[in-house]
Amino acid sequence: MSTAVAGVSGEERDDLSRAESRTVRKRSQRLLLELLRPRRRQIALTLVVVIIATGLQVAGPALIALGVDRGVPALADGDWLPLALAGAGFLLTSLAGAALIGWFRVLQARIAQAVLFDLRQRVFSQTQRLSMDFHESYTSGRIIARQTSDLDSIRELLDEGIGNLVSGAFYTLFTAIALILVDAPSGLVLACALIPLWFLVRWFQTRSQRLFRQTRVASARLIVQFVETMTGIRAVKAFRKEDRNREKFGGLVEDYRGANAKVFRLFGTFDPGLVLIGNLTVAGALLVGGLRVAAGQLAIGALLAVLLYIRRFFDPLEELAMFYNGYQSASAALEKISGVLEERPTVADPARPVDLRRARGAVRFEGVEFGYRSGGVILPRFDLELPAGQTVALVGSTGAGKSTLAKLLSRFYDPTAGAVRLDGIDLRELHPKDLRRAIVMVTQEAYLFSGTVADNIALGRPDATREDIVRAAKAVGAHAFIEDLPHGYDTDVNKRGGRVSAGQRQLLSFARAFLADPTVLILDEATASLDIPSERAVQEALQTLLADRTAVIIAHRLSTVAIADRVLVMDKGRIVEDGTPEELIGGTGRFASLHQAWRDSLV
Ligand SMILES: Nc1ncnc2c1ncn2[C@@H]1O[C@H](COP(=O)(O)OP(=O)(O)OP(=O)(O)O)[C@@H](O)[C@H]1O
């Protein structure tokens, strides 16, 4: 298999080689088959229904011919039965055909819904399952496009396109057969019409392929630009980027409009072209048929049926052409989705996890080396031992690798070499549940999910009772401000009045961590300067939070460093100093000067 297009790597490229395109196509076909296979019985039933329904619909003109050619002369002789039979037959086949087409639509929609449901779920759980490195390179705009516009174009195809294609294809096929059965020479007239028709459709396909691609690309750009502007709205506002963004977005909207206008112009030629060929064919059939009726070679009713069949032959063609559009965008969407589904989490769950009953919290980095996927060693090989229960402050200049070390410990990433061990067990051998229970990382963002304050605190332990939640909040000193919120613990954090300040947000995330009660706590301390009372509250909360567990704090505040048992100073991915705060302050190393600078800044 060509690895250059494995997963999402070929997604942004438009220069795929033939072999690569084939690989991508095969992959999406496999996915489609996988989705359809469990529903093959339903699909078979649906096909039977549409075949019978189409057969019944196509019988109409033949019954009219019968009525005209047999029924009318018989009626002239006083026998009304043949005409009545033909009339009743026409009525019945029309009714039954319509009813079956209705049923077909229901069956088809059911399959479409089931397939979409399945696909939606798969995309969601897959994107959630993929590791941090995937999410750090695959933007949220792209993820959203997969889950919205891509699934939408597949939905359109499944909801309407496929049904129209199947019924339309049977319809034209059966109509052509019926025409030949009624009068073979008229079939030749239709055959002649197929030549210009072929050229028209070819022309449409080549042009539309390019134009539809342009509209898809333009609409995808719109979504990505929109999502990126909205997710970065704070930066947009802070840097007054609104005007530039509006111009950029306006340009993209203009591209999209332009691409759509071209598509409409294309249809503006294609549609009348189809009608013209259809009408010319009817005229030709009328001329040829009329001559043959005059020569006594063709019955008048049969001529009527021929004209009806030829007219009807052209009816579904526009829909078939439309299907081509839907098919193009749905298959492009499916190719991208299948790429996302093909990605494997780089941080994989163990096949046979090692049982971790009650962790003590001894951490060891053993010959660990790490670099991100984008290349370059960020943390050169190192060993580090953190005894159970120790509070370690991690300090160092920006970009020194503090967060990277924390991410390795919480297993957002796996080391490129060596192992990170908890109580001697390689993190890669732990069941994700055990790992998440034992090691919790509190990030700077202190993200709050929509829901109540209580829900947000209970995140790490969903089975916690209200008492547990309140106890945790009290322990970290968050209880008082929560009580002051409009609905206390039941305040919705996204509603008016439920908005909390940065410091309060941090206290909530401390309460969350306290309740989760991990053996190892990693804390990326917020850099935002808090006011003095909040700082003191956070400091007290920290003391409670850190008691009786191993803790690694990426420390930005001097006060935090002071409560640590040990300080690690990092520089360019290396641990350059290691000791108690007192030792390091007393020394002459980097920490001592850092400490002095801090002190000076406080005065
Ligand atoms: N997802 C990533 N992909 C590639 N490189 C990364 C990624 N995240 C961080 N880096 C690089 O790794 C190095 C260490 O970054 P890290 O975030 O660990 O530093 P830090 O010490 O936590 O800095 P800060 O105090 O600014 O948060 C930096 O050079 C950074 O550019």
Q: What is the structure's pLDDT at 583?
A: 82
Predicted confidence (pLDDT) per residue in 572-594, tens digit: 889 998 888 888 888 777 778 87
Q: Looking at the predicted structure, is the pLDDT value of residue 229 above 70? A: yes
Find the 40 Cα to ligand 1 centroid distance in Å: 50
Work out the pLDDT band at 531, boundaries 50, 70, 90.
Answer: low
Q: What is the structure's pLDDT at 445?
A: 75
Q: Looking at the predicted structure, is the pLDDT value of residue 353 above 90? A: no
Q: Looking at the predicted structure, is the pLDDT value of residue 196 above 90? A: yes
Find the 394 Cα to ligand 1 centroid distance in Å: 14
Q: In the predicted model, what is the mean pLDDT of residues 241-246?
A: 87
Work out the pLDDT band at 434, boundaries 50, 70, 90.
Answer: confident
278 in contact with ligand 1, CB cutoff 6 A: no
User: Percent of the chain having pLDDT more than 90?
Assistant: 25
Q: In the predicted model, what is the mean pLDDT of residues 421-444?
A: 88
Side-chain half-sphere of 63: how many Cα atoms within 13 Å?
A: 18
The residue among 35, 152, 153, 167 whose CA lies nearest residue 101 is 167
Within the chain, which residue ranges are assigned CATH 1.20.1560.10?
A: 24-342
Between residues 428 and 596, which one has the greater pLDDT?
Answer: 428
Q: Which atom of ligand 1 is nearest to the CA of 396?
A: 21
Predicted confidence (pLDDT) per residue in 449-490, tens digit: 888 889 889 987 888 899 999 999 988 888 888 888 888 888
Q: Looking at the predicted structure, is the pLDDT value of residue 106 above 70? A: yes
Predicted confidence (pLDDT) per residue in 39-52, tens digit: 999 999 999 999 99
Predicted confidence (pLDDT) per residue in 364-387, tens digit: 999 999 998 777 899 999 999 999
d(CA 159, CA 171): 19
Answer for the pair 341, 189: CB distance below 8 angstroms, yes or no: no
Locus of tokens 């021929």:
306
Q: What is the structure's pLDDT at 299?
A: 86
In sequence order, what are the residues at sequence separation of 6 or more whose Cβ sits closer than 8 angstroms to the Cβ of residue 4? 10, 20
Find the 482 Cα to ligand 1 centroid distance in Å: 35
Work out the pLDDT band at 601, boundaries 50, 70, 90.
Answer: confident
* Residue having the nearest C-alpha atom to atom 31 of ligand 1: 399
Question: Lowest mean pLDDT: which of 245-254, 275-284, 317-326?
Answer: 317-326
Question: Lowest mean pLDDT: which of 208-212, 248-252, 359-363?
Answer: 208-212
Question: How much is the pTM?
Answer: 0.75
d(CA 295, CA 299): 10
The dotted CATH code for 363-602 is 3.40.50.300
Q: In the predicted model, what is the mean pLDDT of residues 549-560?
A: 85
Q: What is the structure's pLDDT at 1?
A: 45
Rounded to the nearest integer, the mean pLDDT of the chain is 85
The two tokens of residue 174 are: 């059966």
Find the 444 Cα to ligand 1 centroid distance in Å: 14
Q: What is the structure's pLDDT at 12?
A: 65
Order of strands, sheet of 574-579, starting from the edge strand that comes earlier in the sequence: 439-442, 520-524, 550-554, 391-396, 566-571, 574-579
* Residue 531 DSSP code: P
Q: What is the structure's pLDDT at 209?
A: 78
Q: What is the structure's pLDDT at 367?
A: 93
Q: Looking at the predicted structure, is the pLDDT value of residue 557 above 80? A: no
Work out the pLDDT band at 351, boundaries 50, 70, 90.
Answer: confident
- Distances 200 to 267, 269, 272, 275, 329 between C-alpha atoms, Å: 11, 10, 11, 12, 21
Q: What is the structure's pLDDT at 363?
A: 93
376 in contact with ligand 1, CB cutoff 6 A: no
Q: What is the structure's pLDDT at 602?
A: 66
61 in contact with ligand 1, CB cutoff 6 A: no
Within the chain, which residue ranges are assigned CATH 3.40.50.300?
A: 363-602
Q: Looking at the predicted structure, is the pLDDT value of residue 15 above 70? A: no
Work out the pLDDT band at 325, boundaries 50, 70, 90.
Answer: confident
Q: Which of 372, 407, 570, 575 to mutate to test the pocket of ligand 1 (most atoms within 8 A of CB)?
A: 372
Fold observed for domain 24-342: ABC transporter transmembrane region fold (1.20.1560)
Answer for the pair 207, 267: CB distance below 8 angstroms, yes or no: no
The ipTM of this complex is 0.95
Q: In the predicted model, what is the mean pLDDT of residues 549-573?
A: 87
* Residue having the nearest C-alpha atom to atom 24 of ligand 1: 398
